Chains A and B, each alone.
Chain A
């Protein structure tokens, strides 16, 4: 049901982009829309030929060639507790906040690789204050992060977590046939009700190639890989 709904939205917005393609000032928005329609296009247009790929787990089906072929930035997201995986395409950009989306309506929002929001997972992270964690990733030590949750009574609950950063060590990780030399850094956080550990695999240039970041009690942790 979800998927169909989203496809409808997707085709709808794709149609809009076509409509707007030739209409003067309205088309001034094109860059943003372009990203969206590309995401939509990637999701709906190409390859009827690769049904097998779609039907199977992207973790097994992904190849470097497929990633290159996509021609757009892609991330792989795994909901660890559910052992469910999907590739997400860049659907929106607002400053340093990137919205990644899957065609069936899952949204993941990252800020410099830090998870600051999810949509469509059921117990979503509605927003997150991660400035402290971002700087602590570089210099270590302790920091505070604040998560916003939508409760069962439609209120926003703001939860503040105390976190400690620790470098675990240097590793080589492989992401779809490509090996990266990274440093693994763990962020251990807790508030009165929950505790979790986020892990970041950071390249020498500061790129977070892979991470495990906690969403909420019911969703658990996402593994996110930059493809």
Chain B
């Protein structure tokens, strides 16, 4: 194709971008290094430092019997959290045995910022949910003495109070602080608040010397004496002093080598990623078409000649114009002064960017008398909102300084208009589509197998009967993976709604993943509806209905969902019922499940959701979620579900909880895409607090075109 450009040589923006990606790295502030616990710190001891806001650290460390995998997230500039999955060889505590897998959570809050004289001070909880094997609390201070030298001193409780521990200084508040209650983890997974800051305390500390920009030396005095491990003869501690080097070959990668407790070598690797740092920041999609500016007299025209240019031709031209920007025209109302269009954004992550592109295309193709563009984005057949842009504003603001803010101020975002007046676009695209592609499915941190998953081939097909009525399905065949053994499934009194997932993986290969008919509606102002029927997910089929109240410019949305579902056969064919409880005879299981949900945009990128209702195993309860969303589409969040299932019946972990992560595809490709990759790190998937995994829940679809998301995406309006 190159040869077709006779004269203009291509600039090779891809190559250029790659050069930019790999080359220029902006001078950045020094970032703290990570400890063997996978959070900013010394080696085994924490510091008061925080990672840059939003940073995600993925760490693997190994020394002695301890292999630790940690995901840390700087939740806010002061607050950070870590989720850790550790393998402990040879048993734990006083229990000898095989490899032991342990999940734990940490939190750290920086109370005081480092000042000229004041050190940074942070308080932290280590392993505060779960079995509490590493549970400890600390108060720590870190001060930069010279630009390349920091000193840390701290006071630790729990494990961090086991070397040269002294009577708890908090005892002056209440004598009860002086004794730490014994660990009673039961089925794990509970917050051990009654033990926080209780029992003996001890001092720890250390120094960090940045020898070069990419090389740091660390030395520390550890207050963890590994009391139980030493008593059980599994660990020997020869010295409380640990030494290490951290090498940073490039920003974002820490490689650590350490000598610990006078007899062991430790290694650790951390990959740090910050959702804020998109490379390249503004994306590589081609330039938009320039706005075509009308002459002053043409602008004053009140009408255009509809005889010479019939409406149908205008719609055809609109269809083709929108198609150049990856937008599908559904219908249009073309007036003398106003055009209103409904379209499906099939290219850009944000509806704001799609609107910006469409507005410019309209300026190229529409008669000059048309002054007002009303853009109604549609997803799954639902008109989400109406964004009104004045053509003269577009002409006045294009390529002006501060155009983003000015254009946002001058645009109006309202509910979508009525169906009346709209005429369907003649050229409807093909309604049938299919795909054959690989899929990747994996679960992390299963007690038996740390990584469990499979890679296979998925054949999917979709038939759009109407934009809001879609028949779709998918069949999967695994190719490689370790899902092909059932393994041991710990017993429970609950219906095995999730526990038996491995039977589906083994017997349902190949299997029908989904086969559904979904119908979407917008029955009344602010009200949206969905009915999905069929094989909703790999383990359940039935009918799922949903109603959502979500005003266009509201932070609050409220939804109700009612599902009647039956458990599918393990072979993932068309049948229902199987030998779920393993007694040799097949059973059927069906359940009425449903939730009331409230969604609230807390501002500054924090979003919360509460679902109250009945779960798949027939248990009643509530799920709480908190997500931090970045405007570029990244999301990091945590959730937990408490139901009326007793912790003993739930089994290990006591209740369902986890972390979810969404990475938008355009973030790492640099090219526009509506796709994203999402994953959930669960402590354990058990039967309590489980929900039907139905595709296309309303809130995530509807909000894309609403005020909050449009405002968040407006930075891309002119891109």
Residue positions of A touching B, CB distance < 8 A: 1-9, 12-13, 15-16, 19-20, 23-26, 28-29, 31-33, 36, 42-44, 46-51, 53-58, 61, 66, 69-70, 77, 79, 81-82, 84-89, 91-95, 97, 99, 101-107, 109, 111, 116-117, 119-124, 126-129, 146, 148-156, 158, 217-220
Contact = CB atoms under 8 A, between A and B. Distances in A.
B17 to A, nearest CB: 5
B511 interface: no
Contact of B16 (A26, A122, A151): A122
A127 B20 contact: no
Contacts of B4: 44, 48, 54
Contact of A1 (B9, B14, B289, B293): B14
A12 B327 CA distance: 13
Nearest to A127: B401
A146 B404 CA distance: 14
Nearest to B323: A12
Contacts of B7: 42, 46-47, 50, 53-54, 66, 69-70, 87
B399 A154 contact: no
B368 A117 contact: no
A5 to B, nearest CB: 6
Smallest CB-CB A-B distances: 3 pairs? A105-B286, A24-B308, A92-B290
Given A54-B3, A122-B670, A79 B11 contact: yes
Contacts of A43: 5, 8
Contacts of B316: 19
Contacts of B367: 25-26, 28-29
Interface in B153-184: none
Interface stretch (B275-283, B375-383, B446-454, B534-542): B275-283
A12 B320 contact: yes
Interface SS majority for chain B: loop
Contacts of B23: 81
Interface in B338-374: 350, 364-369
B365 A16 contact: yes
A151 B54 CA distance: 15
Contact of B719 (A13, A51, A124): A124
A23 B309 CA distance: 5
Contact of B287 (A7, A101, A154): A101
A128 B276 contact: no
The listed residue with most A CB atoms (<10 A of its CB), out of B4, B286, B367, B718, is B286
Nearest to B669: A1
Contacts of A56: 9
A104 B367 CA distance: 28
B8 A218 contact: no
Interface in B1-51: 1-17, 19-21, 23-24, 26
Contact of B280 (A3, A32, A123): A123
The listed residue with most A CB atoms (<10 A of its CB), out of B8, B291, B309, B402, is B8
A44 B313 CA distance: 26
Contacts of A220: 24
A105 B287 CA distance: 5
B5 A26 contact: no
Contacts of A13: 289, 321, 324, 364
B315 to A, nearest CB: 12
B291 A92 contact: yes
Contacts of B15: 84
Contact of A82 (B16, B308, B324, B368): B16
A103 B10 contact: yes
Interface string B264-288: 0000000000011111111111111
B298 interface: yes
B559 to A, nearest CB: 27
Contacts of B2: 51, 54-55
Interface string B556-591: 000000000000000000000000000000000000
A153 B403 contact: no
B663 to A, nearest CB: 13
6 contacts: A3-B13, A24-B304, A87-B8, A104-B12, A111-B399, A153-B278
A35 B630 CA distance: 39
Q: Interface size class for chain B? A: 35 or more
A69 B7 CA distance: 10
B3 A120 contact: no
A86 B10 contact: yes
Nearest to B634: A153
B631 A155 contact: yes
Contact of B9 (A6, A85, A152): A85
Contacts of B304: 24-26, 28
A97 B5 contact: no
B399 A94 contact: yes
Given A122-B670, A155-B715, A104 B11 contact: yes
B289 A92 contact: yes
A35 to B, nearest CB: 8
A45 to B, nearest CB: 8
B217 to A, nearest CB: 30
A112 B399 CA distance: 13
B24 A94 contact: no
Contacts of A89: 8
A70 B208 CA distance: 64
A13 B632 CA distance: 29
A16 B364 contact: yes
B320 A5 contact: no
Interface in B441-464: none
A25 B307 CA distance: 9
A4 B1 contact: yes
Contacts of A47: 6-7
Nearest to A152: B278
B3 to A, nearest CB: 4
Contacts of B313: 19, 23, 26
Given A20-B317, A26-B304, A126-B282, A88 B8 contact: yes
A86 B2 CA distance: 13
Contacts of B9: 53-58, 61, 85-87
A154 B365 CA distance: 29
Contacts of B292: 29, 32-33, 36, 92
Nearest to A131: B401
Interface in B619-652: 630-632
A182 to B, nearest CB: 25
B402 A150 contact: no
A110 B70 CA distance: 49
B314 interface: yes
A25 B308 contact: yes
Contacts of A120: 13, 284-287
Contact of B399 (A32, A116, A158): A116
Nearest to B667: A152
Contact of A117 (B324, B325, B399, B631): B399
B713 A16 contact: no
A19 B313 CA distance: 9
B8 A12 contact: no
B555 interface: no
B3 A32 contact: no
A120 B285 CA distance: 6
A190 to B, nearest CB: 14
A152 B277 contact: yes
Given A29-B364, A127-B399, A129-B401, A36 B289 contact: yes
A121 B5 contact: no
Given A55-B3, A107-B287, A122-B283, 6 more contacts: A12-B324, A33-B292, A44-B5, A54-B8, A88-B8, A104-B13
Contact of A123 (B14, B20, B320, B630): B20
